Amino acid sequence: MSHLLAEIKIENYKSILSEVFELSAYTPLIGYNNAGKSNILSAIKWLLRRTSLQVNDFNNLDLPVVVEGRIDGITDELLNSILPSHKVSISKFIVDGSLQIRRTQLVPGDSVARIKLQVFSSEATAGSEWVSNPTGIDNALNALFPEPIQIGAMENAEEDVSKSKTTTTIGKLLGEIIGPLETQYGAQVRNVLDELKGIMDADGHSRAAELRQFDTAVNQKIDSFFPDINIKLHVPTPELKEVFNKGTIKIYEHQDSEGRDISSLGHGAQRSIQMALIRHLAELKREEENHNTTTLLLIDEPELYLHPQAIEIVRDSLKALSTEGYQVVFSTHSAIMVTSDDIADAVLIRKTRARGTYKRSTLKSAVPHIEADSASQIGLLFSLSNSSKILFSEKIILAEGRTEQKLLPRLFEAIAGKSMGLHKYALISMGGVASTKKSMQVLEVMDLPTRSIVDLDFGFINAIKDGFLDEEDTDVVACHMIFDEIASSNGITLAQNGWPAKSSSMTAAEAFVVLANQIKAQPHIEAIHQKLLLHGIWLWRMGSIETHLGIVGKNEMVWASFANLMKSSYLPDLIRDYNGVADCINWLIGNEAI
């Protein structure tokens, strides 16, 4: 793609108070219902094709609606491909291949003529950088961006594929093929229409006998009321363009000879046909001589009512379009629409009463702030299994162990009274404590609140490596000394660094459980726990979640048995350290008492 709308700033439009959104060739807008994703799509279209906004389009009636966009990738080759007059109109405003435009409507219902289109000029004096309505700028923009294609929500699918309007997919398709149809069949159709006009027209040269009989019979009756008036029944004949523009879709199933309206199909079938037509429209437009335009394709929830395989087909089709002269911006609730390659460009949309619709930082904008060696961690975090959780949640819980993955959601719901999903939490496996810092860093620069749950050994090894604790921390040093004292008597093997190592009799994790049972170590462990809380990290003070729960083993049988016991048991009696587990759950949901 040679050029695209790379950024859009929207002010006072519907739910959007003021926000800047970065756009790419394939941009998923991800957020909960009513977050304002559709408003972003509409604002993009309004920037490029002005219409008069009404009262409901203004967030604050006392302020104007302003939408500003930056177009990147305007090369000399592109400028040389458009009309010289268009090139002259925009060349002087282009800086480093970019053009900035701004559209403003002051009050609701204002006339289209009063809606300003401004262009940023780097050569203008300070305070007057925006030049209003430069001559020819609208036509020049049309040369770069043809009419955007906006596909609304599912309730519009039937109309979009069955009613021929300039704004519908079927209308656009007919608009693409009407030229060849007129060339090939125009004369033939005109002859037929002229014949029909002669028969049906009030002044037709071959007016039908039935119509003349009707005229005579009615005029005899009118004559008694108005002697000087005659009437003729007139049946207008459509013009050539009207004939071609009345096209619609008929559905044929099981080789039926009689077609049905698309309204007879279910929503899934309607949406499938709609997406197929969009794909065909794209292919037709790619065959046009002008390959230097970029068509914005703005779609609300393209996956709606489709089964998973069909969603994959739609995704692949839209991604193909994004490399073939289309810029695709769409809202979605499906992780299938967003592959790991698309994560960097996904825009997480949220809305609050105070901020209105806003975005979280994209991974693409966050990458410069992430350590260079975090690439593999990004891939792990946003694998297909995790992406749906991360992208569609408000808060992230990172947990190392498989027991947390299996049992923590059940414990969370039992203690908090609502599931993690209702709290908008996602529970993500870190793939080892060595990933804790990098995982948190990736998510936090994306403005995704994150908390981590780790075993006790993290507090003495990885916490120091990651910089959460100092090696000379008094509590760390104290626990180090306790290990020296208890190692030999408890069968603990210490590594050269003085911390437990795996041996034939005990794992390092089991050695830290032994430490947790030492009464003199517990105040120091508690102090380390509190220090890590300041970094958003929960440390299992008794060694691991298994120790707190009172279970032995990490396998499906142990987890299933405990889950079944939870259904019929009083949790404070079932869980060895109920208060410690409850403290963790309450900390996750932000209980101020913890």
Phi-psi region of 96 (alpha: psi -120 to 50; beta: other; left: phi over 0): left
Decide: residue 523, CB within 10 A, 0-12 exposed, 13-18 middle, 19+ buried. Answer: exposed
DSSP annotation of 394: S
Q: How far apart are alpha carbons 186 and 181 in whole angstroms?
A: 7
pLDDT band at 218 (very low <50, low <70, confident <90, very high): confident
101-110, 292-301, 371-380, 519-528: which range is least confident on average?
Answer: 371-380
What is the CB neighbour count within 10 angstroms for residue 231?
Answer: 12
Q: How far apart are alpha carbons 189 and 195 in whole angstroms?
A: 10
Considering the chain, tell me which residue range(s) the CATH 3.40.50.300 domain(s) occupy.
4-155+287-352
* Residue 403 CA: distances (Å) to CA of 222, 436, 458: 92, 17, 16
Between 316 and 582, the more confident residue is 582
Is the confidence at residue 531, as pLDDT, over 50? yes
Is the confidence at residue 104, as pLDDT, over 50? yes
The DSSP-derived string for 533-574 is HTTTEEE-TTSSHHHHHT----SHHHHHHHHHHHHHS-HHHH
Q: How far apart are alpha carbons 390 and 401 in whole angstroms?
A: 18
**Strand locations in 23-145, DSSP E?**
26-30, 65-72, 99-105, 116-120, 130-132
Which amino acid is it at 255? Answer: Q
Q: What is the mean pLDDT of residues 169-183?
A: 67
Q: Which residues contact 296 (CB under 8 A, 6 or more apart)?
A: 5, 44, 45, 48, 145, 148, 149, 326, 327, 329
What is the separation of C-alpha 397 from the centre of its chain, rounded to a whole number of angstroms? Answer: 22
Is the confidence at residue 424, as pLDDT, over 80? yes
* Residues pairing with 299 in the sheet: 151, 330
pLDDT band at 444 (very low <50, low <70, confident <90, very high): confident
DSSP annotation of 100: E
Q: How far apart are alpha carbons 239 and 539 in whole angstroms?
A: 78
Beta-sheet strand order (sheet of 425-429): 425-429, 395-399, 450-454, 537-539
Between 499 and 152, the more confident residue is 499
Q: Decide if domain 4-155+287-352 falls under CATH 3.90.76.10.
A: no
pLDDT band at 153 (very low <50, low <70, confident <90, very high): low
Q: What is the mean pLDDT of residues 63-79?
A: 93
pLDDT of residue 594: 31
pLDDT digits (tens, 9 = 90+) for 562-590: 999 999 999 999 999 999 999 999 999 88
pLDDT of residue 244: 65
How many residues can be counted in the chain? 594
Q: What is the mean pLDDT of residues 539-553?
A: 94
pLDDT of residue 25: 94
**Do the strands 500-501 and 493-494 form a parallel or antiparallel pair, or are they unpaired?**
antiparallel
CB 550 within 8 A of CB 576: yes
pLDDT of residue 361: 76
pLDDT of residue 407: 95
Angle (CA) 329 332 337, round 5°: 85
Q: How far apart are alpha carbons 252 and 232 in whole angstroms?
A: 41
pLDDT of residue 179: 67
Is the confidence at residue 542, as pLDDT, over 90? yes
